[in-house]
Chains A and B, each alone.
Chain A
Amino acid sequence: MRAEHEPRPREDRGRPGLEELLERVARGDRTAFERVYEQVAGPVYGVVLRVLRDPAQSEEVAQEVLVEVWRGAARFESSRGSAMSWVMTIAHRRAVDRVRSAQAGTDRETRAARLEVHRPYDEVAESVQTRLERERLRRCLDGLTELQRESVTFAYYGGYSYREVAELLKVPLATVKTRMRDGLIRMRDCLGVER
């Protein structure tokens, strides 16, 4: 038990939570899926676009992810984590897979250049909850060392492997792995993520 933690992003009281909705989706409930869509489509599209950068491609991948949520809802297990994190894991992994499969022969410089216009927080949908969450995230990111922050954000928002991050930042592989882990530990504690 932890004395203080900030609540996970989740919906208002009185409305069914994402977990419950997914259970209904697993039973083929299309109405429940529409409500899931309302909650996750923005985050899914946002993270995919963040990684891929190309709007047309991102829409295609986001669509695949959402269909996968429908298809695989029965695979979600609340004992293994929150519903939102289940969805976001699917989304991020799909986006990263797309980057890596498209990467063969692609100029690495292009992707590096893409990251220079790295603005993780400026394109977010206008909702109070999201804005507060974004501010909290920024505060927490600011609490990391530069190397931790770069390792985490290049990997997550840039879709880079830790080997690529190591090359980009000119640090040893072991260092990058450690910084990613340390960075996530700090972020987790700062955000008050339940464990």
Chain B
Amino acid sequence: MNGALSGRDPHTLAGAYALDAVDDAERLRFEEHLERCAECAQEVRGFTETAARLGHAVALAPPPGMRERVLAQIGHVRQLPPVVALPVPEIPEVPEAPPSPRARRTGRSRRSGPAWWPKLTAGLTAVSVAAAVVLGVMAIRAQDLLDMSRQDNRQIAAVLAAPDARAVTGRTDTGGRARAVISRSRDRLVFVSSGLSPLPESSTYQLWRIGPSGTTSAGLLRPDASGGDPPPVVVEGIGGTATMGVTVEPAGGSRQPTSTPLIMLTLPEA
């Protein structure tokens, strides 16, 4: 109902968020916004400290016996594992695909993502953790992995963790970027895009598998609620797919591409 409204300007929700005065959906959406807005994240930190002071000021002596009950109880509670830095999956990168003839080509493998990928701030939610790993811009922490609840993220993690994972990167003429991490053994790839030009509501970006047996849709790239980059897409059933392409299609997508691909990623073979 008013979700779209608050989605449009999530910034104003910082106070309500810090006071726990939002519902679960709003909380999630706002936390996703926080990843992209370092300023908001800092404001929320200050608000959270402030709220804690409100709480601290109403401290009361706890009921007698509570201490003993708590201490007895923790004897039976397993602690969460410590936060450890996992190695960033080392995904060998195949040379960057054209379309631009000036596109820089290096054969070197790159562990961290190219400098143009968005820098992500702390306070990650599952989707951004997945994106971060795909983009290779930062280390992922075990706790974040544990926090991943969405099926997509498990699938993403599985692709990234595959021993045969390879990354390939491409760009559009207008500064859009795309990256795919593929695992032939898992028959899946993860596709991430960034900086694609906004489209009118009448059209959409569509992702395609292009292989010897023809071209099939691999789904639409939907910007998130606040107009940010689309979340990662997991493409299953890679089979003999040689290339991934992105085109602009009428809203809702097409059965076959109706325009020239903006990006073509040539996938490494097994």
Q: Which chain A residues have a beta carbon within 8 Å of chain B's beta carbons?
A: 8-9, 26-28, 30, 33-34, 37, 41-47, 49-50, 55, 59, 62-63, 66-67, 70-75, 77, 79-82, 84-85, 87-89, 91-93, 96, 120-121, 123-125, 130, 133-134, 137, 152-153, 155-157, 159-162, 165, 173-174, 176-185, 187-188, 191, 193-195
Stretch at the interface among B63-71, B164-172, B242-250: B63-71
Tell whether, in the assembled complex, residue B55 and residue A67 are in contact, meaning their CB atoms are under 8 Å apart: no
Which residues of chain B in 76-107 are interfacial with respect to chain A, using CB atoms and an 8 Å cutoff?
77-83
- Residues in A with CB closer than 8 Å to B55 are 43, 46-47, 50, 88, 91-92, 156
A126 closest partner in B (C-beta)? B61
A39 to B19, CA, bound (A): 22
Which of A73, A162, A195: most chain B CB closer than 10 A?
A162
| A75 / chain B contacts, CB cutoff of 8 Å | 80, 83, 143
B residues whose Cβ falls under 8 Å from a Cβ of A = 2, 12-16, 18-23, 42, 45-63, 66-67, 69-71, 73-74, 77-83, 122-123, 143
Q: Are A89 and B15 in contact (CB under 8 A)?
A: no
Residues in chain A near residue B73, CB distance under 8 A: 63, 67
User: In the complex, are the beta carbons of A71 and B56 less than 8 A apart?
Assistant: no
Residue of A34, A80, A156, A159 with most partner-chain B CB within 10 A: A156
Knowing A174-B12, A184-B50, A193-B46, the reply to whether A70 touches B77 (Cβ < 8 A) is yes
Contact A67 B77 (CB under 8 A): yes
Q: Is the CB of B54 within 8 A of A41?
A: no
A125 touches B19 (CB 8 A): no
How many whole Å from B61's CB to the nearest CB in chain A? 5
Cα separation A155 to B28 with both chains bound (whole Å): 19
Query: Complex: how many Å from CA A159 to CA B16?
Result: 11
> What chain A residues lie within 8 Å of B46 (beta carbons)?
184, 188, 193-195
Inter-chain contacts of B12 with A (CB < 8 A) = 174, 177-178, 181
Q: Are B57 and A130 in contact (CB under 8 A)?
A: yes
Given A41-B67, A155-B21, A181-B15: A124 and B122 interface contact (C-beta under 8 Å): no
Closest 7 A/B residue pairs (Cβ): A181-B15, A180-B15, A47-B55, A85-B52, A88-B52, A46-B60, A155-B21
Residues B60 and A124 in contact, CB atoms below 8 Å apart? yes
Q: With A and B bound together, what is the CA distance between A153 and B58 in angstroms? A: 12
Asked whether A184 lies within 8 Å of B18 as measured between CB atoms, the reply is yes
Interchain CA distance A179-B56 in the complex, whole Å: 22
- Chain B residues near A173 (CB, 8 Å)? 2
Between A and B, 15 residue pairs with Cβ closer than 8 Å are A26-B82, A34-B71, A42-B62, A49-B58, A50-B55, A50-B58, A70-B77, A71-B78, A156-B54, A159-B20, A180-B15, A181-B14, A181-B16, A188-B49, A193-B50
